[in-house]
A and B are shown apart, each in its own frame.
Chain A
Amino acid sequence: DSGVTQTPKHLITATGQRVTLRCSPRSGDLSVYWYQQSLDQGLQFLIQYYNGEERAKGNILERFSAQQFPDLHSELNLSSLELGDSALYFCASSARDTAFPNEQFFGPGTRLTVL
């Protein structure tokens, strides 16, 4: 158990809908990262927050947005969902923001299915 929690575990919805994925980082970790993993694809970095502020942005679509709250939990909002958004969404957390070295701990993921 990494200490990172994600809810819900599974989510099934229809095209055009909006969903919210939630992540609670490990106790004391200030950075939260969101990743998307489509079938047979590598993990794609979406966005990072550090202590409530957006820190880095990756291949995140305009239909997706995220935020980190004062209690450090984070939410990833996906709107106008398309079939291609079906994927595993992982949240990870780390203690700090620097890259040298700073281990990321991954949550169990949320499996999103768009029908």
Chain B
Amino acid sequence: KNQVEQSPQSLIILEGKNCTLQCNYTVSPFSNLRWYKQDTGRGPVSLTIMTFSENTKSNGRYTATLDADTKQSSLHITASQLSDSASYICVVSPGRYGGSQGNLIFGKGTKLSVKP
């Protein structure tokens, strides 16, 4: 069964610190892997999209890595800010090329709290 598991479920860090969120997936083959940020009660916002052939992508203080062999991805947040407090969701798109992306598979997210 195609699944996306994220860890930890929740995380509390102090402002200015770095953190790394993990994503393990069993989706195979897959087309791309995405990380989204979701503020409480708001819609998710895309942070990074990596194809199966990429192994790292950055977006400002956010850096995502992908190891397609071990089926693991991580999202590293550098110099955290209070505004980073949100849920971070790992999403995997099954299939290799083309096809409908309607069946994106979402993880349950990691809830990050950044404290002053």
Q: Which residues of A contact B (CB under 8 A)?
A: 2, 4, 33, 40-45, 47-48, 50, 55-58, 88, 90, 92, 94, 97-109, 111
Contact = CB atoms under 8 A, between A and B. Distances in A.
Interface string B69-85: 00000000000000000
Contact of B99 (A90, A99, A109): A99
Interface residues of B, number: 26
B43 A109 contact: yes
A33 B103 CA distance: 10
B45 interface: yes
A57 B4 CA distance: 19
B31 A99 contact: yes
B59 interface: no
A109 B40 CA distance: 11
A2 B32 contact: no
Interface in B41-56: 41-46, 49, 51
Given A45-B103, A58-B103, A100 B43 contact: no
Contacts of A101: 31-32, 49, 51, 93
Contact of A98 (B49, B101, B106): B101
